[in-house]
Structure 1
Amino acid sequence: MSTSVFRPLWLGLLVLAAPPLWAANLQAELVDAAGQPLANAVLTLQGPLDGAPPAAAGVMDQLAQQFMPHVLAVRSGSAVSFPNSDDIRHHVYSFSPAKRFELRLYKGTPSEPVLFDTPGVVALGCNIHDWMLGYVYVTDDPWFAVSDEQGRVQLEGLPAGRYQVSLWHPQLTDMLSQPGGELQLGEAGTQQRFSLAVQPAEVVPASAPKNAFGDAFKKARDAAQ
């Protein structure tokens, strides 16, 4: 039998073994109106669903009487655990429309994680330590990330194609996500800069903590209406 008979099968195996050609990468920089790096900003992408990752578990820790991370982004349907790494007790709760829950006074890690199944902003507080404030950003968009201290975001292995960008930050005036425009991702890596007009962060004196949760909850409630 001629070797040419086997050539199509051989070529097909090479194609299957090759890395996917649709993989695209995005490196983004998020800045404020003055061009300064913006940490804790959420960037989400809505686009091709091929290869979209499933909902994954998240972790919102409590360390040094602060929520860590300050902003956690998860996909709708994700379960989030709330370990307490402090040597004191915390009482975590949220009255946000996207998720109302309460984890009563505890140390260690509650046995059951909290399911976040509705998109929206969830403001977290502690019933014992009024200055503690954190956010869980729940999105239906399949690709998302939170910027680091240098305002950087990196997403890898995305299907090449056209995406709609959404941006969010806890210092936005109305706490609503902002459109970030349209983005075309090809096989080569893409770099993009996004700017958000945010309010200046309040500096809370350590000797007299301010109850910031009330204001944050009100904004999250109004944004859902």
Structure 2
Amino acid sequence: MRVLFALLAVLAFCSPAIAGDLTVSVRDAAGRPVQDAVVTVHPAAGVPRGPIRFAWPLRMTQQDIQFQPYVLVVPVGGTVSFPNLDRVRHHVYSFSRGNRFELQLYGRDESRSHTFAAVGVAALGCNIHDQMLAYIKVVNTPWAAKTPASGDAILRAIPAGAATLRVWHPRLAGRGNEISRPLTIAVAPGRSTVSGDFSARAAVR
């Protein structure tokens, strides 16, 4: 009996946690899809320990006198590279609270990097080219995604149960440019639609 109990305990410990997938549809007040919204899910039970890794590269390129991409999602503690592919020099900076940094003037085919240690937003600018603007959203959950042109982001294998859904965008009206709502993750694939006012002025540098 003791052997059987021990075996059952080991099997229970090794079984994967019950999880579900969630599609988040982000729409503006007129029902149009919103691109570049950052969607995150924070399970009430917490997130796994250890470093968070995403499938996309942690890279903010400077090309055609623009930052690419416009919005980049980065895990807290992640190091982002800033390659310059332009023929002119750039001077990258952020004055955002908690994520202030500066990469002084550097030229074509050179790269610099910065590690983001604080959850929040870094609004990026260039001291040489005022039209350059982009955002790095630093998150502390592995369940994060950015909406494409369709406005739909898919988050997979979220632990079932209570959670908090957050949607951030630089032009989303509201405190911190973010909407937060409770939800329950089910085993069956779920869907949540978030609508908001995206006419606010973009967060400043």
TM-score (norm 2): 0.82
Tell me if 1:54 matches 2:51: yes
Aligned counterpart, 1:178: 178
Change (3 A) 1:24 1:52: farther
> Which SS does the other structure have where 2:86 is aligned?
coil
Aligned counterpart, 2:150: 150
Aligned counterpart, 2:28: 32
* Shift, 1:87, TM fit: 3.2
* Shift, 1:178, TM fit: 2.9
Aligned counterpart, 2:204: 216
Q: Equivalences for 1:79-98 in 2 at 5 Å?
A: 79-98=79-98
The answer to whether the Cα contact below 8 Å between 1:53 and 1:142 also exists between their aligned partners in 2 is no
Aligned counterpart, 1:110: 111
* Shift, 1:85, TM fit: 2.5
* Shift, 1:77, TM fit: 1.5
Aligned counterpart, 2:75: 75
Tell me which amino acid in the other structure corresponds to 1:42. V
* Shift, 1:108, TM fit: 2.4
Aligned counterpart, 2:193: 193
Partner residue of 2:40 out of 36, 41, 44: 44
Change (3 A) 1:150 1:109: farther
> Which SS does the other structure have where 2:194 is aligned?
strand
TM-score (norm 1): 0.75
What is the alpha-carbon root mean square deviation over aligned residues?
2.9
Aligned counterpart, 1:65: 65
CA-to-partner distance for each residue in 1:121-159, whole Å, 9 max, x for gaps? 211011121101001112234422111111111111221
Change (3 A) 1:125 1:165: same
The answer to whether the Cα contact below 8 Å between 2:164 and 2:183 also exists between their aligned partners in 1 is yes
> Which SS does the other structure have where 2:135 is aligned?
strand
Aligned counterpart, 1:138: 138
Unaligned runs of 5+ in 2: none
The answer to whether the Cα contact below 8 Å between 2:99 and 2:116 also exists between their aligned partners in 1 is yes
Rounded to whole Å, the distance in 1 between the matches of 2:197 and 2:36 is 14
Tell me which amino acid in the other structure corresponds to 2:111. P
Rounded to whole Å, the distance in 1 between the matches of 2:161 and 2:169 is 26
> Which SS does the other structure have where 1:187 is aligned?
coil
Tell me which amino acid in the other structure corresponds to 1:72. L
Tell me which amino acid in the other structure corresponds to 1:216. V
In our comparison, the structure showing a higher alpha carbon Rg is: 1
The answer to whether the Cα contact below 8 Å between 2:20 and 2:187 also exists between their aligned partners in 1 is yes
Rounded to whole Å, the distance in 1 between the matches of 2:77 and 2:87 is 31
Rounded to whole Å, the distance in 2 between the matches of 1:67 and 1:97 is 20
Equivalenced residues, count: 197
Task: Report the identity percentage.
Answer: 38
Rounded to whole Å, the distance in 2 between the matches of 1:21 and 1:99 is 35
* Shift, 1:174, TM fit: 5.4
Tell me which amino acid in the other structure corresponds to 2:189. G
* Shift, 1:33, TM fit: 0.8
